Amino acid sequence: MRHLMALMFLVIFCSLQLTTSAPSASDLAKSTCCYKFSNAVIPLKLVKSYYRTDSSCSKPAIVFETDRRRICVDPETSWVSGHITKVDNRTTKTQNKTV
């Protein structure tokens, strides 16, 4: 009986370890890599935020987030840096207003 209890405790303990070390859904979404880039210029008013893909990805990319989807773009494209600057300025202004 003691062996069964010890085995159950071990199984439960291992299960907890697996669930607590799993990445959250938002971390997982932001750690995905881009394999194709969009060629279209995304209207700035649609862009809510952006992030850079992880350095472990084979192709560095910027991911623009809109209300409906995430769009991968090449960071070397000329219009991308302008969008990043404007989104940064927009979020900085919003943060200053709330403080």
Residue 11 has pLDDT above 60, yes or no: no
> Is residue 66 one of the residues assigned to a domain?
yes
Contact 84, 50 (CB under 8 A): yes
Query: Is the dihedral angle over the CA atoms 71, 76, 79, 80 positive or is it negative?
Result: positive
More confident of the two residues 1 and 10: 1
pLDDT in tens, 15-59: 545 444 444 444 545 568 999 999 999 999 999 999 999 999 999
The answer to the question of residue 20 being in a domain is no
Tell me 31's DSSP state.
T
DSSP annotation of 45 reads G
**Residue 62: inside a domain:** yes
Q: Taking all residues of the chain, what is their mean pLDDT, rounded to a whole number?
A: 79
Contact 24, 60 (CB under 8 A): no
Identify the three-state secondary structure at position 18: helix
Number of separate domains in the chain: 1
Mean pLDDT over 47-74 rounds to 95
